[in-house]
Structure 1
Amino acid sequence: MRWVVPLLLIGCGGGSTPPPQEPTSVEPKRVTRVPIENDSDDEPEDGVTFTKTRGSISAEAIQAALAPHNQEMMDCYTQNVGKRRWLGGHVVLHWDLKADGTVASVKMAESNLGAWPVEKCLLDIAWSATFEKPKGGDADFTLPLDFQPPSGTKIWDEDMALRAVGGQLAALDDCDDFEPGKPGKKPRKAPKPAKNPNVDKPARPERPPSNVTITLYVGPQGKTQSIGFSSSTSEVGEKWAACAEQTAQTWRLPDPRGQIAKLAVRYRAE
């Protein structure tokens, strides 16, 4: 069973920043999982049908696990936005939990934020959360977050975004085996991380991501101002994201002429 936990709204004001709103307590959305039946050839002669099921974790247990990290998640945005008053958007984090409550996977399932340093910070915190054992085995749930910018941007539609990026998207294929500082690749200066002293960063193997949504902002002279990544089917690894972020800085894009434009394109769509 999948839970959608309460929304956390984060705003950024002009002069003095108002205190972030506390998460509102709402009833999680329940999504019923339909049991998956085996093919008829695999069924025993007595007619018994085997089903694959998932466990569940209560909304209260999720809130208890994430409450200690609320401020850290807010800091991911406020400490990285800087003077980019146009930076903001909606993200959805997706957790997969093992039967003992340990985190098996965290994905940035949705994001139109367009800021990898913020997204990566949220992912690191998500990995560090501690959960109680789900009932009935492995479980998963999602957390939506909204970051509201004080100023807007010009939105380029899908057709315009595809025309703007064009064949430059293929350059990301080289990021599958990217190693920072290796021959042929210019070392990238890492962005200043948000202060999250309680986050222990676990070592996780990386695989090339698929079904990636790339959101970026275009500024003067068609230069990339910020970029972010999400995928509902795979984790976006740090090395791949670092390479993709670096590669996007070299793209030649249309000049939005006095505005900041926001666009999204799909990479390795399934």
Structure 2
Amino acid sequence: MATNNLQLRTVNVTRYVTPLREGGSLPAIAEADDDFLYVLKFRGAGQGVKALIAELIGGELARALGLKIPELVFANLDEAFGRTEPDEEIQDLLKASVGQNLALHYLSGAITFDPVVTTIDPLLASQILWLDCLLTNVDRTPRNTNMLIWHKELWLIDHGAALYFHHSWDNWKEQAVRPFVQVKDHVLLKWATELDTVDAEFRSIITEQLIRDIVGLIPEEWLSTGDITADERREVYIQFLLTRLASSEIFVNEAKRARETGI
């Protein structure tokens, strides 16, 4: 495993505040022992730790590229939380999520980005779309933008649906060089006119060491599943991202085609 120059803080969850039922994985607002509120993503939710891994990699890559994303922290959940919750669905989720989870700093007062109301600068739109193509993030559509306006700035949230290759490990090499055809549904596609500029800039920022440092943040226990070791699984994430980065012209051209043709 590479030496990791990045770190995430670790907090302990002290209070379950309220579920966010609009999310398919039933995240929640929770308070931690640093007295801040977080949006807590549970390891026991539908997609399990794979969604947390995608959230971590996507979020920290976005941050490294200068995009705005709430602070990510590891959030420890004690087994006592599942005992007093009256809602059986939430109780089961809490019991299944004892241990290390992932959380995003809660942006109090933020509003959901609405493409009808807010126009996005073409360079920023191109940056976000390029990253989503790299990550194969299928969940940034007009129906569910996963972006917030906070203090008049655009913030990215929820990358849990990215890196969908890891739901089927067998063909990750082929998926790494495929065009991202779902870009036709991206909420920012119509504004993304600066993709060539962004491609050159971001390819220079995302080094192999940066990728290794970010993937190195993934807790060992999140990777220790299946018939390959945690280090082997970690290396697959690294090689997938390196291959996709080296082949970025494939997803850039697909995005430009989708924008020009509308399909």
The TM-score range, normalised by the shorter chain, is under 0.3
Structure with more helix by fraction:
2
Q: Which has the higher Rg, Structure 1 or Structure 2?
A: 1
Q: What is the TM-score of this pair, normalised by structure 2?
A: 0.27
Normalised TM-score (structure 1): 0.26
